[in-house]
Amino acid sequence: MTATASDLTIRAWRDHDPQARRLPGMFLGPVPVTPDAENVHRLFAGGVRHAELDTTVDLSTADPTAHRPAIDRLRLVRDLTAHAVSVDWDLCLSPEHSARQWKLLSHLHPPRTITGLADAQEALHAWRTRHYLCKLVWRQGPGFVQIRDRRWGDLRRFTADEPRYQDAISLLVPGVHHTDVPADVLEEFTAEHLVLRVGELAWWLPYRVSRWLQEGMAV
């Protein structure tokens, strides 16, 4: 029971640098997008190197109709980050969210603002100063999936070679109702902080890479 993806619009530019983006021909205008990896790959191939989301990613609301749009905007940020595309976006968390909540998302390109947390400015500063590419990634090998996680300061590596784990990841990548994923698999992924729950939806946090940006020993 995968929820229907949202129709979104981003503003897009051909360069990361703010000054370069002011030059003629750099602004690509408002671009309607669907939040899937293939569409993001097309954006990158078309020259997009910086994007701005259309609205705040709100993880603080209890309104179930807002959960799918929030996940879809996170999907865009995740997959744009995977292509090293910088993103202007804003994040709203609930006051009851712990420091761990923003750290779950700290592999994504840092947001422009964080609201809702008592220590929002400290969290934003830490996110910006400690962020680098490939902080939480997964790749598909021949008959296995490998995940590498450095959000917590050390390297945590997981390898799954059972088909049911790979099937679960396929469901979780776009975000899915939590009951659509085998409970024991979802529990394992959640315990390793690889899944974000937003209401009834469960969403896969790592972004996919086809090759490491550095030698394997350094990633």
pLDDT in tens, 97-128: 666 789 999 999 999 999 998 889 999 999 99
Q: CA–CA separation, 97 vs 94, rounded Å?
A: 5
Q: Are strands 136-141 and 207-208 parallel, antiparallel or unpaired?
A: parallel
Q: Judge whether 212 and 219 are in contact, CB under 8 Å.
A: yes
* Other Cβ atoms within 10 Å of 150 Cβ, number: 18
Can you give the residue ranges of every domain in the chain? 8-130, 136-208
Question: For 51, phi and psi rounded to 5 degrees?
Answer: -140, 155
pLDDT tens track for 124-182: 999 999 999 999 999 988 989 999 999 999 999 999 999 999 999 999 999 999 999 99
Q: What pLDDT was estimated at residue 101?
A: 81
Q: What pLDDT was estimated at residue 210?
A: 57
Q: Is 27 helix (H, G, I), strand (E, B) or coil?
A: strand
Question: For 103, phi and psi rounded to 5 degrees?
Answer: -65, -30
Q: What is the mean pLDDT of the chain?
A: 91
Is residue 94 very low, low, confident or very high in pLDDT (cuts 50, 70, 90)?
confident
Q: Are strands 86-88 and 113-115 parallel, antiparallel or unpaired?
A: unpaired
Whether the pTM exceeds 0.85: the reply is yes
User: Which two three-digit tokens encode residue 77?
Assistant: 């940020």
pLDDT tens track for 195-209: 999 999 999 999 998
